[in-house]
Amino acid sequence: MGIFLSLFIYLISYLPVILARDVTRVTIFVDATKTVATNDEHFICATVDWWPHDKCNYNHCPWGNSSVINLDLSHPLLANAIQAFQSLRIRIGGSLQDQVLYDVGDLKAPCHPFRKMKDGLFGFSKGCLHMQRWDELNQLFNRTRAIVSFGLNALHGRHNIRHNAWGGAWDSNNARDFLKYTISMGYQIDSWEYGNELSGRTSIGASVDAELYGKDLINLKNIINELYKNSSSKPTILAPGGFFDQEWYAKFLQVSGSNVVNGVTHHIYNLGPGVDPNLVSKILNPQRLSRVSETFGNLKQTIEKHGPWASAWVGESGGAYNSGGRHVSNTFVNSFW
């Protein structure tokens, strides 16, 4: 009712402008006999990111206490919002996920909070997920019946070799210990996603070669099969959580092979940077917004050709990147996007 009322008021306020224009009558025919696309019943997803409170863009620091590490998990509005969706998928991930260490098992590196670091990836040091915090998060997930997808660190053990390219072997020991702890506590994880925005020419911050990435997925699949054994609740694998690069996506699917990846995830920020003064006009331009269907179509074709066992997912989308547009992304006009 609130959304309808807001839309009604918005339309009434523009009524004189609408009436002042020349009116062209059109007839629209809707073909209801052909299915264009289908969605899983749990297709609605919200990402909880890792950004600390001092993550800033354009002289503005909007994140506050809204991340995995500092969100007030006991706030009743949070639980009520999750439950209102009945089966909301919560993705734990984002730009800093490939710098997150899990404070469990035989971790040989110090596990400190994120801190600003000039030469660090995205301007931050490595960070830490303590198991007490992981326990608290899962208590919230269990209480609200959220469906959980967790993004694993795919850069652990690797090093920067040139520009934004990272090489070397993935050190899976910390991830394995984290999975073992999660299983031992009985926490239900629907899917594990491997890495964030590491996909070739469209990578952000760091990139990993598609062949190397595909082999890592085989390794991750073996770890999951080993640890979960014959469990009826064995999680699926999502990858790569990046911007679509057709050649890179095709390669990693070919290398990883049949039935390793279950959901092929890509990200959408089709409005450009949040600082763009033309953000509102982009949001209200249907032709611009419709361009994403071409990307999704190309992704779907790539999957059908190289990984027909997997499905196409939008793993993250925020309209405008770099924390959104101030006084735009958090207002009514963003609902059109």
Contact by Cβ (8 Å): 48, 68: yes
17-33 confidence digits (pLDDT tens): 445 567 788 898 888 89
**Is residue 116 assigned to a domain?**
yes
Q: What are phi and psi of 45, to 5 degrees?
A: -140, 145
108 or 37, higher pLDDT: 108
Active site residues: 197, 316
**Is residue 2 assigned to a domain?**
no
Count the domains in the chain.
Answer: 1
**Is residue 277 assigned to a domain?**
yes
**Is residue 34 assigned to a domain?**
no
**Is residue 23 assigned to a domain?**
no
CATH number where 320 lies: 3.20.20.80
**Is residue 3 assigned to a domain?**
no
17 or 314, higher pLDDT: 314
pTM for this predicted structure:
0.87
Residue 12 has pLDDT above 80, yes or no: no
Residue 173, judged by CB atoms within 10 A of its CB (0-12, 13-18, 19+), counts as middle
DSSP state of 31: -
Q: Which of 10-14, 47-51, 65-69, 254-258 has the lowest mean pLDDT?
A: 10-14
Residue 204 has pLDDT above 70, yes or no: yes
**Is residue 6 assigned to a domain?**
no
**Is residue 19 assigned to a domain?**
no
Cis peptide bond prior to 273, omega within 30° of 0: no
Domain of residue 283 covers 41-336
According to DSSP H, which parts of the chain are helical?
2-13, 15-19, 76-84, 131-144, 173-184, 210-228, 246-256, 279-283, 286-289, 292-306
**Which SS3 state, helix, strand or coil, does residue 247 take?**
helix
pLDDT recorded at residue 217: 98
pLDDT band at 304 (very low <50, low <70, confident <90, very high): very high
Residue 14 has pLDDT above 70, yes or no: no
Quick one: tokens of 20?
Answer: 């002042």
Q: What residues are paired with 268 via a beta bridge?
A: 317
Contact by Cβ (8 Å): 57, 325: no
